[in-house]
Chain A
Amino acid sequence: MRGGGAPRHKKMKFISLVLKSAKRSKRRTLLTVMSVAIAVFLFASLRAVLDGFKAGAEASSSTRIVTIRSTSLIFSMPTSHTDAIRNTPGVQDLTWANWFGGIYKDPQNFFANFAVEPESYLRLYPEVLLTPEERTAFLEDRTGCIVGDGLARRYGFKVGDKITLQVGIPVYGTQDYDFTIRAIYRSGGAAVDNQSMLFHWKYVDERSLEKGQVGWYVIQVAHPDQATQVAMAIDQKFANSPYETKTDTERAFQSSFVSMFGNLNLLLGSIAIAVVITTLFVAGNTMAMSVRERTTEIAVMRTLGFPSSTIFLLIAGEALLMALVGGVIGVTLARVIVNPDLMQAGAFIPVFGVNNTNVAMAVLLSAVIGVLAGVIPATMASRLKIVDALRRVA
């Protein structure tokens, strides 16, 4: 009576038998289901964090390239680079920005804030979603700024609020900068996060101790295939000048940020493995215990004529069922708790949430746990010698 060819009512009987034995010790089943649920929850959350880190790089545009100083991002270059870059064949459009590094009230309140050339920046980043009115309001106010909806939620910012940033980098002088929030933008893609604050480059440049400095250029090329060629052409223009540049695709630029955290993949990956192994121990243990408890019962079933393959499927099926139920609970919890609205990790950690792929992977994982945890006890049960088992007491 192996699954496939068995008549329908036999299948039903089999399933109800599995359910019956799972209910035999409710407490044990519950504890096992919960421990699988917790493991799956943790696994799905860890995957979501990792994906959050990768998302920025993966969603980046293939027609945008970024030029920074060859020494490092923290050095700036003169605005005279603008025309030279614009005249490079293949360049469609460009914008520039500066890392401002301002401090909002306390250095602990970290969020990204940078000065951008507003009109071209919004043109190059259609992912910054603003209504035409909001856009105009921002462009018309020299001391205006826009903030991401995530950031606005974090600090309760509203349109029209005044924000003061202390200077974080000495080159911007010593006086505080005042801004008025002109709009709250939404993010239309992972290449733009919703935790940043953008304001006018001109406003900052006027008060900067060094005028006409640009942190990085973002360049739009007509076709992704041209990206490398244009990048090389730009770098060649400034080779051997005091302000050498390094141009890369937006993707490479973003993934260099991810790699700054060190080997995240390895760290989170090994924790995930530990999670799975722990659960295997717990679930496997439970199944082994329940088989031992049922030794006499199984022997009776064998005597009644149940083939050992059915016994195997019965035990393995029970393990699989518990693991799957646990998996579904864990994933549902993860889905509800770990989402971008609740998780405001802030600082340098990107927003993250459990997505459908995470869910699918986690459920698959729980099935694997169920099968692995069930195999040994099920083999044990199916290989029982009836005579020995019947002779044994408790």
Chain B
Amino acid sequence: MGLIGSYNLRSMIVRKGTAAMTAGGIAMVVAVFVMTLAIAQGFRATLVASGSPQNAIVLRKGATAETVSAVMRPDVPLIESLPQIARGPDGRPLASSELVVIIALPRQTDNQPANVPVRGVGPRAFDVRDNLTVVDGRKFTPGTREINVGRLAVGRFKGLTLGSDVRFGAATWKVVGIFTADDAAFESELWGDVDLMMPAFQRNGYQSMTVKLADPSMFDSFKAAIEADPRLYLVPQREQDYYAEQSRPLTTVIRVFGAFVTFILSIGAMFGAMNTMYAAVAYRTREIGTLRALGFSRFRIVTAFLAESVALALVGGVIGCILAIPVHGLSTGTTNFTSFSEVAFKFRITPALMAGGLLFSAVMGAVGGLLPAIRAARIPVARALREI
């Protein structure tokens, strides 16, 4: 094993020009693979981070998103009085009745109008979602036209810096605080008092209610209680499930697209690897003959050349992953089509994704190297030795 292993490794180094080109081709494929999946990963992570295991979101039956849901005013006390909801220090339930409307603001990058979600929230919204922190300024005062803006929204849309005035819904709102939410979708939103938002947008009801449960395990009894009440045409979902579902259509599109592009591209790279390995086998016919004469079995020759090809591809895979790393954390945005609003998110390269990229490169190497390796093993010893 030692001899044959180092033989193949050294042959690779001797032919470094060709080896580098082949690895380079594979590196590009892996880079594209990792980058496109980093988009899907980042988008999903952003939406999933919006949900907490302890929270539940209540929507109208059949509504797939907040924007198409409705929760009427009389429903609110019915839900708030349920015993499964956690209480604050003042004994009031930790629930927030909310309204999401979409306004158009120009993007920083291209000045095109983008659909920005504005969320009217109840006074306890910041207690219901504990991953929210105001990093600059202060929380808005209920009953005033003040708003808080998510940090990603400040960077993505124009005119949202601390202290500026924003005009929407026939009124002017003052930005008094910037908040973060662990990269969740809330960071792309504008938050203000729901009771002022409703008249500003001529709405007469809420769209959703988010509640903090006293304990995550109480979700089932909470759901049963709502379903049992004939006055409520509503259904609760675990917040995490809701946001995971929201991210599904877009992540599926990106994944399918990424898979399609990288699959086709990988065929090209595999042909490249195949070329290289065929050439390697042809150059070394005499050497292979010698190895066979020394008693190495055909199987050992196949595995050795396969290993060489996989090693070559893995070098490419590592380079590809390194090429992709700079996009990690890059902030970009797209429209979440289930809510029709723009979500800012960051490219996200996880160790699992990189491992996937390496595995992918190894597969390319193995598939590309298989036929040449078999050819190497099939060469008749006598003829191989005669070759110059």
Chain A residues at the B interface, C-beta cutoff of 8 Å: 27-28, 31-32, 34-36, 38-39, 41-42, 46, 70-75, 101, 107, 166, 168-170, 240, 242, 244, 246, 255-256, 259-263, 267, 270-271, 274-275, 277-279, 281-282, 284-286, 288-289, 293, 347-349, 393-394
Closest Cβ neighbor of B333 among chain A residues: A262
Of residues 14 through 64 on chain B, the ones whose CB sits less than 8 Å from some CB of chain A are 17-18, 21-22, 24-25, 28-29, 31-32, 35-36, 39, 60, 62-64
Provide the residues of chain A in CB contact with B29, threshold 8 Å: 274, 278
Q: Complex Cα distance A54/B22, Å?
A: 36
Check A72 against B268 for contact (C-beta < 8 Å): no
Q: Complex Cα distance A284/B278, Å?
A: 16
Check B159 for interface membership: any CB of A closer than 8 A. no
Q: How many A-B residue pairs have CB under 8 A?
A: 152
Check B226 for interface membership: any CB of A closer than 8 A. no
Check B21 against A281 for contact (C-beta < 8 Å): yes
Of residues 287 through 345 on chain B, the ones whose CB sits less than 8 Å from some CB of chain A are 332-335, 337, 340, 342
Task: Report A45 CB to chain B, min CB distance, Å.
Answer: 9
Partner of B271, one of A35, A348, A349: A35
Provide the residues of chain A in CB contact with B169, threshold 8 Å: 71
Task: Report B203 CB to chain A, min CB distance, Å.
Answer: 10
Check B334 against A261 for contact (C-beta < 8 Å): yes
Check B149 for interface membership: any CB of A closer than 8 A. no
26 pairs, A vs B, C-beta closer than 8 Å: A28-B278, A31-B271, A31-B272, A35-B272, A38-B271, A39-B268, A41-B264, A46-B261, A74-B340, A107-B64, A168-B68, A242-B170, A244-B170, A256-B112, A271-B261, A274-B29, A277-B28, A281-B21, A281-B24, A281-B28, A281-B272, A282-B21, A282-B268, A282-B271, A286-B272, A286-B275
Provide the residues of chain A in CB contact with B17, threshold 8 Å: 288
Task: Report A209 CB to chain B, min CB distance, Å.
Answer: 10
Provide the residues of chain B in CB contact with A32, threshold 8 Å: 271, 275
Check B332 against A263 for contact (C-beta < 8 Å): yes
A-B interface, 9 closest residue pairs, ranked by CB to CB distance from nearest? A282-B272, A262-B334, A285-B21, A281-B25, A260-B335, A35-B268, A35-B271, A170-B70, A278-B28
Check A31 against B103 for contact (C-beta < 8 Å): no
Task: Report A360 CB to chain B, min CB distance, Å.
Answer: 21
Provide the residues of chain B in CB contact with A42, threshold 8 Å: 261, 264-265
Task: Report B90 CB to chain A, min CB distance, Å.
Answer: 33
Check B68 against A262 for contact (C-beta < 8 Å): no
Query: What DSSP secondary structure best describes chain A's contact surface?
Result: helix
CB-CB contacts of B101-114 with A at 8 A, as 1s and 0s?
11110010110111
Check B276 for interface membership: any CB of A closer than 8 A. yes
Provide the residues of chain A in CB contact with B36, threshold 8 Å: 271
Q: Complex Cα distance A282/B21, Å?
A: 7
Check B267 for interface membership: any CB of A closer than 8 A. yes
Closest Cβ neighbor of A244 among chain B residues: B170
Check A71 against B271 for contact (C-beta < 8 Å): no
Check B271 against A285 for contact (C-beta < 8 Å): no
Check A263 against B109 for contact (C-beta < 8 Å): yes
Provide the residues of chain B in CB contact with A293, threshold 8 Å: 279
Q: Which of A34, A71, A284 has the most CB of B within 10 A?
A: A71
Provide the residues of chain B in CB contact with A288, threshold 8 Å: 17-18, 21
Check B337 against A34 for contact (C-beta < 8 Å): no
Closest Cβ neighbor of A255 among chain B residues: B112
Beyond the given pairs A74-B340, A275-B268, 6 more chain A to chain B contacts, judged by CB atoms under 8 angstroms and listed by A's residue number, are A31-B272, A38-B264, A259-B110, A279-B268, A285-B18, A285-B272
Check B114 against A259 for contact (C-beta < 8 Å): yes
Contacts A288-B18, A289-B279 given; indicate if A278 touches B68 (C-beta within 8 A).
no
Contacts A35-B271, A35-B272, A274-B265 given; indicate if A284 touches B337 (C-beta within 8 A).
no
Q: Which of A35, A107, A168, A279 has the most CB of B within 10 A?
A: A35
Closest Cβ neighbor of A273 among chain B residues: B28
Check B168 for interface membership: any CB of A closer than 8 A. yes
Contacts A71-B169, A282-B275 given; indicate if A271 touches B32 (C-beta within 8 A).
yes
Contacts A259-B107, A274-B31 given; indicate if A347 touches B272 (C-beta within 8 A).
no
